[in-house]
Amino acid sequence: MRRSRRIRTYSRSTNSGRVRQVEIHNLLEDEVIRLIDEICDSTSASSEYCTQPECRLDAACYVLNRIAPRYVTSVRGHAHMESEFGDNSQDAADIAALAHEALRRVTAFRRDYYDDVPETPTSIDGPCYVFPTIKGRLINGATFEPLAEVEVELLFEGRTAEMVDNRWQNPYTVSNHTPGTFLFRPAPVPAGSTGEKKAFEFCLRVEEPKFEPFHRYFSFELDASPRPSNSILSDFNLMDLFVVPS
């Protein structure tokens, strides 16, 4: 199952004053995803593991959160690290063991969305605007502490914004485990042509009895992509949002 690699790009000025783009990539993302795909493909005929695309991604996250990343910034570095990894049989064995552990856990605790989430975010087939993850924190304006157990809603064009799939909640209930933090990833919308620019305005709304009504508007501009994609974009981070008790 082929996926886009997550690559971070940074701008760096050279001595001549020109700006050079530098890419940073975690080599182990590719290795872990490849290994999990191999295991799932070889066991897909049995019921040993859940092999749905979303199961594979959750298993990959489980493994990657338990091993140290190996970053490269060039083709030569990529080749060197791949060679080094291939020569280290212990590292490969440890990651393989983690991959099997991850798949066992994912299979044992199946999530509701494993069987019904489409591989593509929407039915759009053509140019579209792909939104980043929208992140922020809600803060109590009186105590300056992060809020928990409150509901925040993302509005687009006056209505509850549709999310990319049902793993993303809207409205979003802020958890006690991640006080104040909320995340949204809106579903792509059609565009006229690739590269077309458009500004989008959203509104965050909090309507809780113990707080004053809260509305915060924000906007950003996007370039249209050729088609919907599961590639991870840079997050759109909002400044802390202060909600006043009633």
Q: Return the number of other C-beta atoms located less than 10 Å from residue 78's C-beta.
A: 16
Calculate mean pLDDT across residues 98-120: 73
Which range of 69-83, 116-130, 148-162 scores highest in mean pLDDT? It is 148-162
How big is the chain by its Cα radius of gyration, in Å? 21
Query: 11 or 193: whose pLDDT is higher?
Result: 193
Calculate mean pLDDT across residues 30-54: 84
Q: Is 96 exposed, middle or buried (0-12, 13-18, 19+ CB in 10 A)?
A: middle
Residue 139: its pLDDT value, please?
96
Amino acid at residue number 69: P
Residue 21 predicted with pLDDT over 70: no
Calculate mean pLDDT across residues 53-75: 81
The model's confidence at residue 107, banded by pLDDT at 50, 70 and 90, is: confident
Residue 245 predicted with pLDDT over 90: yes
Calculate mean pLDDT across residues 112-125: 58
The pTM score is: 0.60
Residue with tokens 């202060």: 242
The CATH number of domain 128-243 is 3.30.1370.10? no
The full set of domain ranges for the chain reads: 7-114, 128-243
Strands 236-237 and 134-140, by their bridges, are parallel
The model's confidence at residue 91, banded by pLDDT at 50, 70 and 90, is: confident
